[in-house]
Amino acid sequence: MKVRLGDRFWITLTTVIILFTLVVIGRNLITVVKVHHRIRLLKREKAMYEERIAKDSTLLEQLQYNEYLEQYAREHYHMQRRNEDVYIME
């Protein structure tokens, strides 16, 4: 079976097109995987921030009451009243 010059051209061209298509598909698949990974990371980060917002909102509501505000200031900022001795034990 002899392969003519015209047939050889079409075989080579088809091979080049197939290889080019595979390279493009491969690069797109890598990009898709990276994007999906980034989306998963951002969803986790979003959940963490939503949890932190809920926690801070609860704290903000509690700090509106003077008794809790005083307790919070004493515990977190080591505040005290005049003529009062405070011992910090950790």
Tokens 């910090």 appear where?
88
Q: Is the model's pLDDT at 6 over the cut of 90?
A: no
Under a CB-based contact definition with an 8 Å cutoff, are residues 72 and 63 in contact? yes
Q: In the chain, what are the domain boundaries? A: 5-77
Cα–Cα dist 54/61, whole Å: 11
Amino acid present at 80: Q
Q: What is the mean pLDDT of the chain?
A: 88
Cα–Cα dist 52/58, whole Å: 10
Cα–Cα dist 10/13, whole Å: 5
Mean pLDDT on 13-22:
95
What tens digit of pLDDT does each residue of 18-53 get?
999 999 999 999 999 999 999 999 999 999 999 999
